[in-house]
Amino acid sequence: MPASLPPPVFFAPDYDEFARWVRDFAAPFADGYLARAHGEEFPWDLAGKMAAQGLLGLGVSEKLGGQGRIGDELTKVHLGIAHEELAYADFYLSQLAYTDNLTGPLLERFLAPEVAEQWVPGIVEGKHVVALGLTEPGSGSDAMAMRMRAERADGGWTLSGEKTSITFAPHAKAMITFAKVRGEAKETSGVTAFLVPLDGPGVSMQKFHDPGWKPLGRAGVFLDDVFVPDEYVLGGVGNGFRLVMAEFDYTRSVIGLMSTGVARKALDLTIEHVTSRHAFGRPVAANQGVSFPIAEHATQLEAARWLTYRALSLADAGRPFTKEAAMTKLMATDVSLQTIRDCIVLHGHLGYSEELPLQAMLRDVSGLEIGEGTPQIQKVVIGRALLGREVSR
């Protein structure tokens, strides 16, 4: 193999250095994870500390306070590393970074510069969050079936409809809202993205009470003739569906690493437990019924991690990675949930209690499995890539 080709099986030194930088920052927050998982107070303190570290501006230009756009000095692999390391310490660190590092770059890229300057710095500084409003009661992954409508008005648009299961909505300052526009011509029709402030007239909300993700919040958002000015349209009329689909492959990949990050922490806690606990005169870990599942899960998690980094590497190389992104979300969330379940069993009654973080980890990763398309949706995507759209319908 030519010496100029880098080995594809381990991180280059700059990636290792970046991983250590994120890991060292995140480690002190690990002890607070369980208390946060049980509460409903939004972690603005975490947001502020992450912002000071620069972790909420990955992908945002330095002009708007970020660490630079993806493709300049940062890559999607950098983003994956950041989210995995944050999730290992505290899932909520990772989820904050995931959302802010998605919405901030989207607003910068697709809003007029003067509007982006009003919204993006606040995200980067951890002062506010912007939710992503795609899912509706009758349409989850089928974005084309949405019923949210946008009608032309003087100087802008009026939006009416309902979005459901919107993470961060109870605490968000605005929501990137996808709605259908019906114009007189094809170029003036289609799914369109709007930045909708959530404190204006016509906006109402119903908060959900979930078993996990409690401090982040989730809600149904109702828009009743909500006015949005023209300059708050992202990417032009009719471009919203393409905008969403372009991000799905990246977000599915990152969710894979967030899942394995949490599961690796659960496995490490379990290794510590079974090596320190004794029964019948020897460590519990000496039993193959304990050591074998740990070995199996460690192997499967490592495979899932590297499948994800392969997907992100393809993205950085400008190559299609839809199939790989769906594969990694399908595999990583499933493997992670199986790992955490066995970790609970290996802890015995303590694993079933709320004294340890394992139950919270299981709930939080379960939420990741549902997000950005269920496992069944990932199988549809993979099937289409392998068999063709018509065969896999």
Active-site residues: which are they? 372
Where would I find the beta strands (DSSP E) of the chain?
Answer: 130-133, 149-153, 156-167, 174-181, 190-197, 203-207, 218-229, 233-234, 278-279, 282-283
Q: Which are the contacts of 162, defined by CB distance < 8 A and separation ≥ 6? A: 136, 137, 147, 148, 220, 221, 222, 223
Residue by residue, DSSP assigns 193-229 as EEEEETTSTTEEEEE---SS-TTT-EEEEEEEEEEEE
Q: Which are the contacts of 268, defined by CB distance < 8 A and separation ≥ 6? A: none
Under a CB-based contact definition with an 8 Å cutoff, are residues 190 and 180 in contact?
Answer: yes
First to last CA, the chain: 41
Take residue 121 and report the two structure tokens written for it: 């710095």
Under a CB-based contact definition with an 8 Å cutoff, are residues 175 and 166 in contact?
Answer: yes
Q: What is the DSSP letter of 146?
A: -
Contacts 24+ apart (CB under 8 A), 112-115: 112/231, 114/231, 115/195, 115/231, 115/232
